[in-house]
Each structure stands twice: as structure tokens, then as C-alpha cells.
Amino acid sequence: MIWLAGNKGMLGSDLEKLLKESGAGFISSDREVDISDIAAVEKFLGNRKIEWIINAAAYTDVDGSESDKETAFRVNAEAVRNLAETAAARSAGLVHISTDYIFDGKNKSGYSEDDKPSPINTYGMSKLKGEMYARDILPEHYIIRTSWLYGAGGRNFVFTMLDILGRKDEIKVVSDQRGSPTYSADLAGLLLNIISEKRLGFGTYNFSNGGSCSWYEFACAIYGMGMELGILKKEVNIVPVDTSAFPRPAARPAYSLLLKDKIKNSGITVRDWKDALGDFMRSAEFLKRAAGGEGIDNEIE
């Protein structure tokens, strides 16, 4: 039996869909079970036999974490401690999602799993603390670091761009932050593969789609595909700007590319971010939501 924590989020909704399609035995929860409260976790699980806990829950408001450090650490760190202790007590494994924001972004060669973390904002610090709890408590864990996540089931950069591109004739997008976009469906597929195939050794792995880009290049790709698919109808001037044009409470790493040699050498396919974006924007789930324009606006104006 698998317990999926955070099934209503962007990654969690994709995971739940795949779990249903696979026929795997699982239970799922979201905010109705406070995973930062060990008593609530034990009450929810009861006498169920759990083989895996997949933690897709997180406090992902990067700027909000600066003003609400307590919530960031409670959800991103203390809750992970509870899940790791629960898994250990029940002889289960834990799959936990972490982030590129545990790095400071100064290494332009990209970051491997063995590079020393040095977060520059509260969000990154809280996620790093969660990693530490998982490693210290439970040997049978997978920590999967990912970056720039987008998908059909939540607020993200792709939907934000489509909304603003549809309303404005000119927009500004940050061009001096680089990383790798990650399609949530690809990450969900990887997680299910990990626990079903059992061919990866326990430990920490980086996973995002292949290649790298700036937020500006990501925006241009979204615009080009939107025009090609007929979702966008008019010419828009996309202007590259420095991060300084968008003062934010939380600092962002300038270069947070995750190197994926370790997972590639394990036989996992990593497809290019542009191919993944194309599949997403042609998907039925995307087309259903495209008109909504829900998203985030941290790196655009």
C-alpha cells in the first residue's frame, strides 16, 4: 500500500492519476491530514500496512516563506521528520521531493547531488532541513530534487504567461536566472517508476527535463507554441530584463541547473524541456485550463 501525501497539488494530482491507472493499492490525503502533527498522521494511517510514503506536499510560496518562516519549516521540514519517523516505525520507504533552491546559484556548471547546499532564502533552507531529517532518520529513502515545476493541476509559470500574453502587447521577463523547467507529469512518472521497478539505490537524485533556459527563454518558447497552437492570437514584444527589475522578498539563485548524470546512468530517460513543454501544451488537461490563466508572476510583468 502506498500513501500519497499532498494529492491535490500539481505533482500530487498527476501522481494520483498514474496510481489509479496502474492499479496500485494506495491511499491519499491533502490538507485534511496535517502531516506536521504526528498524532494526526498516526490517526489517519491507523492499522494500515504501508510500504511507501510519497511526500508531494510542500509550502512552495518562496516569497511568503520570508514572512512566514514558521509555516515554511513546519511543512517543509518538521512534516518530513514525521513522515520519515512514521515510515521507519512501519518498515516503509519514503519518497520526498526537494528543490534546486537548496543551492546558491553561483555555480554556472550546474549542481550534482554531491555539491554542498547553500540556500539563499528561507524556502531553500526549510527544504534542506527536510532533506536532512529524511537522511538522518530513514536509510530507505529517495530524495528527488527538481526545479521550475509546471503542470495542469496547479498555479505555474506557463498559465501565467498565457494569461499575460493574451492581455498585453509588451511584457518583461527575467533573463539572468537559468535552470531547467520540469513537466510535473514526467516527474510523477519517474516517482512511480522508482517504487515499482526498484532499480535505483536509495539516496538523493536530481530530476528535471533536459537542457537549460532562462525565464525569458522559457517565456518565448511558451509564446511561440501558443501562437502555433492558436491559443494566442496577437504579436507581443517580450523584453529580457535583469532580476533587479523585480525586487522580491526572497533572493533567487541565478543559476540552478540540476545535473542529471546520476539518474541517466541508472537508465532513466530525461527528455528535453522543449519536448516536454510541447506535449504539455497539446494535452487535453492543458487545453481545458488554458483559458483560466492561473499562475504566478514572480519573474514577469
Concatenating the DSSP letter of every residue in 101-130 gives GGS-S--TT-B-TTSPP--SSHHHHHHHHH
The count of structural domains within the chain is 1
pLDDT at position 301 is 35
Q: What does the pLDDT look like over 17-47, one tens digit per residue?
A: 999 999 999 999 999 999 999 999 999 999 9
E strand or H helix at 45: helix 38-45
Determine the residue type at 257: L
Q: Report the percent of the chain where pLDDT is more than 90.
A: 92
Residue 58 phi, psi dihedral angles, 5° rounding: -165, 155
pLDDT at position 295 is 45
In this structure, is residue 267 part of a structural domain? yes
Q: What is the DSSP letter of 83?
A: H
Nearest Cα to 130, choosing from 90, 97, 104? 97
In this structure, is residue 195 part of a structural domain? yes
Q: Distances from the Cα of 47 to the Cαs of 1, 37, 55, 91, 169, in angstroms?
A: 12, 18, 20, 13, 58
In this structure, is residue 241 part of a structural domain? no
Q: Which residues of the chain have pLDDT under 50?
A: 293-301
Active site residue 123: yes
In this structure, is residue 277 part of a structural domain? no
pLDDT at position 297 is 41
In this structure, is residue 135 part of a structural domain? yes
Domain that holds residue 195: 2-156+180-212+256-271
pLDDT at position 120 is 98
How many Cβ atoms are within 10 Å of 33's Cβ, its own excluded? 18
| Strand 2-5 relative to strand 141-146, pairing | unpaired
pLDDT at position 284 is 86
In this structure, is residue 281 part of a structural domain? no
CATH of the domain at 69: 3.40.50.720
In this structure, is residue 220 part of a structural domain? no
Instruction: Exactly one of 123, 133, 142, 223 is catalytic; name it.
Output: 123
**In angstroms, rounded to a whole number, what is the distance separating the alpha carbons of residues 37 and 198?**
30
pLDDT at position 128 is 98
In this structure, is residue 142 part of a structural domain? yes
